[in-house]
Amino acid sequence: MNYGYQKDEFEQECNTCGAKFKVNVPGQIGHEESEEYFCPECLCMYKTRASNTPTVTLISGRTDGKTFKCKSPYED
């Protein structure tokens, strides 16, 4: 698979559950649009500009002490 280049990599703290995760954003000139990625703990959705779905790696677990997961926008 051709992912172009690694556009960005950053750490993010989920503002819903407090989990920390690393986001690896693939880029490809001329093929970047708003791509979704999800918090690995609560599945809350975020978006960034990328050429493909960003890869998410969990760093530390949620800190809110809860177990709910955000509702998928693709489910009823």
CA distance 32 to 27: 7
| The pair of three-digit structure tokens given for residue 41, joined into one six-digit string | 């703990």
Q: Which of 21, 41, 50, 54 binds Zn ion (CB under 5 A)?
A: 41
Which CB atom, from 31 or from 61, has the smaller least distance to Zn ion? 61
51 contacts Zn ion (rule: CB under 5 A): no
* Residue bearing tokens 């050429």: 51
Q: List the beta bridge partners of residue 43.
A: none
Which CB atom, from 42 or from 50, has the smaller least distance to Zn ion? 42
Which CB atom, from 51 or from 54, has the smaller least distance to Zn ion? 54
